[in-house]
Amino acid sequence: MNVLLTVSYIGTRYCGWQVQNNALSVQAVLQQALEKMLGRRYPLTGCSRTDAGVHARMFCCTVSTDEQANAVPLDKWPQAVNPFLTDDIAVLKARQVPDSFHPRYDVIEKEYVYRIRNSSVRDPFAAGLVYLYPKRLDEETMQKAAQAFVGKKDFTACMAQGSDVTDCVRDVKYLRVKRIGEEITIAIAADGFLYNMVRIIVGTLIDVSTGRIPLDELPARIASRERSRMGFTAPACGLYLNKVRYQDDE
Cα separation values, 227 from 146, 191, 217, 250, Å: 17, 21, 14, 37
**φ, ψ dihedrals at 215, nearest 5°:** -60, -40
Cβ neighbours for 4, distance < 8 A, ≥ 6 positions apart: 60, 61, 62, 94, 95, 96, 97, 101, 103
Instruction: Give the Cα separation of 198 and 200 in Å (integer).
Output: 5
Instruction: Give the Cα separation of 84 and 62 in Å (integer).
Output: 18
CA-wise closest residue to 132 among 113, 118, 112: 118
CA 122 from chain centre, in angstroms, equals 24
Q: Looking at the annotation, which residues are catalytic?
A: 51
Contact 25, 6 (CB under 8 A): no
